[in-house]
Structure 1
Amino acid sequence: MPGDEGKLKSSMSGPKTIPVTSPLYLHPPDNPNLNVTQIVFNGNSYDLWADAVKNGLDAKNKLAFIEGKVNKPEGDDEEESVELVAWRQCNAMLRAWLRNVIDPKLHPSITFSQPVEDIWEELRARYSADNAPRVYQLKNELNECK
């Protein structure tokens, strides 16, 4: 039918909606200015900050996004599924929420245009205490430079 281009796929019984219990559901008060924690990450105490962010995302039913448990649904540009649109919106919202709890001085070193799961993994790989031996090694190498 003319004019129906770009509309969301719907089931036979009517438009498909996302259940409120789904991680893909955004509640009306959710907005990009929300702070999921009061702790702002400045490059130090990653584990404390990460725990606070996980707690905030868990309370919002969005922890599964950074854990890689919510995969991007399949879809094409012509006819996007309701799930794909919801995934994109949630991913954008979580990127904004992460940006809000990271010191702006660190923003240039973080690529916020990728899926939130990749951003989370990048932060973990860079700042987690698991990298303490590597950080120590790099600092020693820098001290030995002439």
Structure 2
Amino acid sequence: MAGFEDASASGKDKANTPSSDLDSPYYIHSTDYPCQMHVNDSLNDNNYADWSREMNDFLVAKNRIGFIDGTIPKPTEDQPEYKAWQRSDAIIKGWITTAMEKEIRNSVKYATTVKQIWEDLQERFRKESAPRAYELKRTLTNM
């Protein structure tokens, strides 16, 4: 009987892990795998605004937006949720990098977290958008 109780207890503990809770940002569905394309077009030098909006919406729908906006910080290795966080971060990195052109993917492949990738992309592409937006506004004003 003791062996049966121990097995039941360990099964019960496993069922209560963050990755098995449907409302948890660590939940991994059986259809979630890293190399899935979840946006209409791959990120290139000309579509960052549309791409990031689509990816943001997808991550909100998957309850994973906190990994890129910092509301789900990386736990320390001694915290119980560290492994679940690590798995989720790896899957999100796969989703994001799969949706990039090869040159862009190569430039972010050494980032250690998906948050670092997201911040790098924002820094890189938003800077180019500001001068272009100014140029467009000026052209419109002149018309």
Shorter-chain TM-score: what band? 0.7 to 0.9
Aligned to 1:14: 13
Aligned to 1:39: 41
**Alpha carbons 1:46, 1:129 under 8 Å: kept:** no
Q: Which runs of 5+ in 2 are unaligned?
A: 1-8, 135-143
- Higher helix proportion (structure 1 or 2): 2
2:72 equivalent among 70, 76, 89 = 70
**Alpha carbons 1:99, 1:107 under 8 Å: kept:** yes
SS of structure 2 residue aligned to 1:128: helix
Give me the CA root mean square deviation. 2.5
Runs of 4+ displaced beyond 3 Å: 13-16
Output the TM-score relative to the length of structure 1: 0.72
2:124 equivalent among 123, 126, 145 = 126
1:60 equivalent among 26, 47, 62 = 62
Q: Distance in 1 between matches of 2:29 and 2:43?
A: 26
SS of structure 2 residue aligned to 1:14: helix
Of the two structures, which has the highest relative contact order with CA contacts closer than 8 Å and spacing of 6 or more? 1
Q: Paired residues, what number? A: 121
**Alpha carbons 1:125, 1:131 under 8 Å: kept:** no
Output the TM-score relative to the length of structure 2: 0.74
Compute the displacement of 1:133 (Å): 3.5
Letter in 2 for 1:20: L
Identity level (%): 31
